[in-house]
Amino acid sequence: MFIVLGATGHVGSQVVKGLGEAGKPVLAVVHSAERARELEAAGVEPVVADVRDRGKLGAVFARGNRAFLLNPPGDPTGDSNRAELETARSITDALHGSGLEKIVVASTYGAQTGDSIGDLSTLHDFEQRALASGIPASINRAAYYFTNLDMLVDAAREGVVPTAFPEDFVLPMVAPEDIGRAAVELLLTGVDDVGVTYVEGPERYSFGDVAAVLSRLLKRDVAVATTPREQWEESFRQVGFSEASARSFARMTAATLDNPDLPESPWRGRVGLEEYLAQLMR
């Protein structure tokens, strides 16, 4: 049995789909009865569990042989850093005594030690706690999700792509479909196939590339509008982030810009930038 956390999200749903196509039994962990009914209708066995409930999650893990672990994002209107550390610790505490033979852990490019550096620090903590469980672990560090671009389409229709990054800054990106495919591959290999895998799309892109693709798709000029560094925190607060989350996201942005993570031999996906945006706009 394969346990999948976040089973109805962008990535988790792709893991469920890929395991199903491989003919593997899946126990899909969701947070609501409504989501569970959706999975049942699709022929997938669901279980409703709060990842902060270590006892219940431990019982779920005990039913499986392998598991895909994904730490849910914290609510940025509160202290997202604190929330993500709490759920990461609950999930990894639940691994102890589970009997799982292998885990695949969803993480991020740039994962690093530190305090309040957004996903870079909370997911590094998640990685380390998963490894400390003693279960053979594959750490999948994914590039910048294409889904982060979804919110830019409306602005692009008005001729602008707002971003914190310079127009020519190269930022590895990847589609959730490919993150899921990479996870499924490692869930199905031997217990000795572990370590860190970097997962990104077929090419690397800049926000200049994003603007150019949107220009073609929208048939209008689209320009990049880069927010100055000194305005990052305020720009996050303007869209509803708390003070703590705005500071954490600004620090994550700075770490990404100042020390980009560009591995030489990543696992390459199939879905390119133009294909993703074209599908999104359809």
Whether 93 maps to a domain, the answer reads yes
Find the CATH number of the domain harbouring 134.
3.40.50.720
Beta-carbon contacts of residue 190 (< 8 Å; ≥ 6 apart): none
pTM, full prediction: 0.95
Strand partners for 141: 107, 198
Separation of alpha carbons 195 and 214, rounded Å? 36
How many domains does the chain divide into?
Answer: 1
pLDDT in tens, 244-271: 999 999 999 999 999 999 999 999 999 9
Q: State which amino acid sits at residue 58.
A: G
DSSP string, 107-164: EETT--S-SSBTHHHHHHHHHHHHHHT-S-EEEEEE-EEGGGGGGGHHHHHTTEEEES
Q: Which domain holds residue 57?
A: 2-143+174-201+262-271
Residue 222 lies in a domain: no
216 assigned to some structural domain: no
The reply to whether 197 falls in a domain is yes
In sequence order, the 6+-apart residues with CB closer than 8 A to the CB of 262 are: 170, 172, 204
Lowest mean pLDDT among 34-48, 152-166, 191-205: 34-48
